């Protein structure tokens, strides 16, 4: 799996957009980008994933650059409850050998009032 | 659906004792995963099952750890004997299939081995 690089921490004001970057310069053509988050004392929570097109769901938007070497997770209107560690994971999907998501150190996002 | 249910929420035990952690996956999910989280090592995949069959246990740290899934609605992770270095938060997760990367995690079991 391709390695990902994320800033260790970020701050955001409540109500503003939170833009979390992820670098995955060694990503291959069949690898997807996944985002999970972990709120303190809870299990990780799936947010969104994509291959090359931008994706949006009720939680967030995922913007993947045209060369796919980096991506940005956007929380459009951050709330205090969005304070969490955000993990960017690159993984080949639909592998017959099964899922083996590898969580790195992630970005600690702190949303301030 | 109640989500993935783990028990107990907290476990405190003494070194050498047997510890059993329990997990009930989401109904209809065919894959189940056990993860361990520590400050030093982050989140590590220990083992995962597909259709109740263990597929990959390469993350299990040593023979003191064992996991079973006797049916589609129940799994256990056992540590015997337990050691202080096993202290961690243990998460169970499930997904529709082993190739589906959308995992649903339980709330975890905080294990402290004294």
Class of residue A112 by CB neighbours under 10 A (exposed 0-12, middle 13-18, buried 19+):
exposed
Percent of chain B with pLDDT over 90: 78
Average pLDDT value for chain A: 91
Q: Is the pLDDT of residue A98 over 50?
A: no
Please state, in angstroms and rounded to a whole number, the distance separating the CA atoms of residues B56 and B65. Answer: 14
Contacts of B42 (CB under 8 A, 6+ apart): A103, A104, A105
Q: pLDDT higher for A95 or A32?
A: A32
Q: Is the pLDDT of residue B63 over 80?
A: yes
Cβ of A95 within 8 Å of Cβ of B99? The answer is: yes
Rounded to a whole number, what is the distance in Å from the CA of A45 to chain B's nearest CA? 7
Mean pLDDT of B64-92: 97
pLDDT in tens, A8-39: 999 999 999 999 999 999 998 888 899 999 99
DSSP B31-48: EEEEEEEETTTEEEEEEE
pLDDT in tens, B95-113: 987 677 789 999 999 999 9
Testing the interface with B: which of A99, A101, A102 to mutate, by most B Cβ within 10 A? A99
Residue that is written with structure tokens 């999910």 in the block: B29
């Amino acid at each position: 799996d391709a390695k990902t690089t994320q800033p260790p921490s970020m701050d955001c004001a409540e109500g503003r957009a939170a833009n979390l970057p992820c670098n995955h310069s060694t990503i291959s053509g069949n690898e997807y980008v996944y985002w999970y988050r972990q709120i303190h004392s809870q299990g990780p929570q799936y947010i969104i994933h994509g291959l090359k097109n931008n994706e949006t769901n009720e939680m967030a938007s995922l913007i993947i650059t045209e060369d796919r070497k980096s991506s940005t997770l956007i929380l459009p209107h951050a709330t205090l409850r969005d304070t969490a560690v955000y993990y960017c994971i690159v993984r080949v999907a639909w592998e017959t050998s099964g899922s083996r998501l590898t969580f790195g150190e992630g970005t600690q996002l702190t949303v301030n009032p | 659906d109640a989500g993935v249910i783990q028990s107990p929420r907290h476990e405190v035990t003494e070194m050498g004792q047997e510890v059993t952690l329990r997990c009930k996956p989401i109904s209809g999910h065919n894959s189940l995963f056990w993860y361990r989280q520590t400050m030093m090592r982050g989140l590590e995949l220990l083992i995962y099952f597909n259709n109740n069959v263990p597929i990959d246990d390469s993350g299990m740290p040593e023979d003191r750890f064992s996991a079973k899934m006797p049916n589609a609605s129940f799994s256990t992770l056992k540590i015997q004997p337990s050691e202080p270095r096993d202290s961690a938060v243990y998460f169970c997760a499930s997904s529709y299939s082993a190739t589906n990367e959308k995992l649903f995690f339980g709330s975890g079991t905080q294990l402290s081995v004294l």
